[in-house]
Amino acid sequence: MYKKVDLNLIANHLRLLYFGQSTWGSTSLQRYSALQSFFGVSYIVDSRRVFPDKNSGRTFFKSVQARIGFGNLLSISSKILLQEVERFKPDIVWVDGGFWLPKDIICFIQKKFNCKFVHYTPDSLLAPGKSNRCMKNAISAYDVVVTTKEQDLELYEALSAKRVIFSLQGFDPNIHKPIALSSDEKLKFDSDVSFVGHYMKDRATTLDYLLSELDIKISIYGAGWNNHNVSDKIKNVFYGEALADDYAKVIAGTKIILGFLNNEVKDTFTTRTFEIPACKGFLLAERSSMHQKLLIEGLEAEYFSTNSEMLRKINQYLVDDGKRKEIAFNGYKRVVESGYSWSALMEKIITEI
């Protein structure tokens, strides 16, 4: 439990500088949008100034530097943040994914400007490309670190984190909400089963299995599904990225949305856990103890542990429209009423710190 405080006091007196991606549709931008309401003045410094998106200035050498955590990316990141802090003079610097922010610049800014540093990442430190030696070395400098991974709590302690807060991931009600599709959108997004997310080998194996076993409309969206490791079966039902409003439209047009976990890092829930029900979509996800705690199995979502169980439940709920819609509605009520929005989660974090 956390002590309830009047966040209007924070909004009246504190200034927030947010250092993270402002990519449209990203969860980073969704978190910043939620945080803004708790501060009188806030300012976002787009970390893409340091590490650009693909096809907009990112080079192979920059990618290597980012993955390992060395080179001039660190000095560029330090110079940009220091310059912006000098201009804005924040009370709190919120770093969303500090992959290229060295420990020494954090300590220097803390001492010179007397501001607090918060580090947040929705990803596991064990995930390839989601942490590096620069980020891990800097963890001990932050006043607070926030993780959404239960399995990472001991890792942060081993890295000498001063204070660790565990938080759920969430949804943005401005994006993730029930919507009515136009006639053209129904034709475009209509599907029996869809998955939205990054390519992973085990996900591809499962989707290949589904495509072989079921003669239904299956749609796949996300990144990496057109690489050379992906089968032609999958490529034939891959429709590119689905961001922000298009993501909500995919859910609105699909009877069953699959929710895969990242098993490489032992995830127990993801943003999809909340985003799909928030759009009043029917979630069929991998079973985990956290999933079952967040959304009641058979009442607010459905789960599977094996491919055969997934196949059985797909067949069951494709024909049982009434039960499928009932579970989707219950899941919607649960995420909306239980404080799973980014705004509610950010409020709790700010209150705690």
CA terminus-to-terminus distance, the chain: 13
Contact 352, 165 (CB under 8 A): yes
Contacts of residue 151, defined as CB under 8 A and 6 or more positions apart, other chains included, come to 124, 126, 265, 266, 268
Question: What are the tens digits of pLDDT across the range 272-330?
Answer: 999 999 999 999 999 999 999 999 999 999 999 999 999 999 999 999 999 999 999 99
Q: Which residue has the tokens 């029900």?
A: 277
Strand runs labelled E in 25-173: 41-46, 92-96, 116-121, 144-147, 164-166
The residue with greater pLDDT, 9 or 350, is: 350
As given in the structure block, the two tokens for residue 268 are: 């127990």
Task: Assign 81 a pLDDT band (cuts: 50, 70, 90).
Answer: very high
User: What value, to the nearest 5°, has the Cα angle with vertex 310 and ends 256 and 298?
Assistant: 70
- Tell me whether residue 293 is exposed, middle or buried, using C-beta atoms within 10 angstroms of its C-beta: 0 to 12, 13 to 18, 19 or more: exposed
Q: How many whole angstroms separate alpha carbon 75 and alpha carbon 121?
A: 21
Question: What are the tens digits of pLDDT across the range 129-172?
Answer: 777 889 999 999 999 999 999 989 999 999 999 999 999 999 99
Q: What is the pLDDT of residue 54?
A: 75
Task: Assign 57 a pLDDT band (cuts: 50, 70, 90).
Answer: confident
Q: What is the pLDDT of residue 1?
A: 45
Q: How many whole angstroms separate alpha carbon 39 and alpha carbon 218?
A: 44
Q: What is the mean pLDDT of residues 217-244?
A: 93
Lowest mean pLDDT among 49-53, 135-139, 226-230, 316-320: 49-53
- Cα atoms found within 13 Å of the Cα of residue 314, Cβ hemisphere only: 27
Q: Which residue has the tokens 């599977």?
A: 304
Q: What is the pLDDT of residue 63?
A: 73
Question: What are the tens digits of pLDDT across the range 6-36?
Answer: 666 565 689 999 999 998 888 999 999 999 9
What domains are defined for the chain?
7-167 (3.40.50.2000), 183-337 (3.40.50.2000)
pTM over 0.85: yes
Q: How many whole angstroms separate alpha carbon 311 and alpha carbon 196?
A: 18
Lowest mean pLDDT among 58-67, 116-125, 320-329, 337-346: 58-67
How many residues does this entry show for the chain?
A: 353
Q: What is the pLDDT of residue 2?
A: 47
